[in-house]
Structure 1
């Protein structure tokens, strides 16, 4: 079945508030996980600082482009403030670019209570 890794989506130690460096280090980290035999890497959606994954599908695309075998999953995309069709289009496109390597995780968020359903 293989091992899985979960992204904490925070800048790495010593990076500070520099998201570009943290994003590149995330890709490097997943490459390393792939070399160690990990089967999956999960990226959770977070919107408050110091998170670097407000748009997980974009980060997943960078990770998939920078690796060859490891599966990339969203754990989880927040469905409250986003329309289901948009989520399906984004992940469908990613799945076409990285066949057999994308896992979609969905979840509710506190935003459901703050702004209501779409």
Structure 2
């Protein structure tokens, strides 16, 4: 069975966005080590309680650190971007 992880990257009480992104990295490395198939990152805007306004940046960073897990953006808000921009961004990844 292929298992996946969804991380909305919530900034919990007492943490900073930087610490939260470090936790996301730790989770991705652990999921990769444990053999999870895929990890998704949601996209959220306008909230200090979520550190995932640009999941494609997070994916690019974590792809350089992981070995086998597939990384993706599970909630990209396409209505905020042109189709060409989205296609080029994810083609580059």
Whether TM exceeds 0.5 here: the answer is: yes
Asked if 1:45 is matched to 2:43, the reply is yes
Unaligned segments of structure 2, at least 5 residues: none
Q: State whether residues 56 and 74 of structure 1, in contact with CA within 8 Å, keep that contact through their aligned partners in structure 2.
A: yes
| Deviation, structure 1 residue 58 | 0.1
Choose between structure 1 and 2 for higher RCO, CA contacts under 8 A separated by at least 6 residues: 2
Instruction: Select the structure of larger CA radius of gyration.
Output: 1
Deviations 1:1-55 (A, max 9, x none): 52111102212x5652x11121122111110011111010000101122111100
Tell me how many residue pairs correspond in the alignment: 92
TM score, norm. by length of structure 2: 0.89
Task: Give SS of 1:85's match.
Answer: helix
Give 1:25's aligned residue. Answer: 23
Q: Where in structure 1 do 4 or more consecutive aligned residues deviate above 6 Å?
A: none
Give 2:4's aligned residue. Answer: 4
Unaligned segments of structure 1, at least 5 residues: 95-118
Deviations 1:66-100 (A, max 9, x none): 10110001112111121111111111111xxxxxx
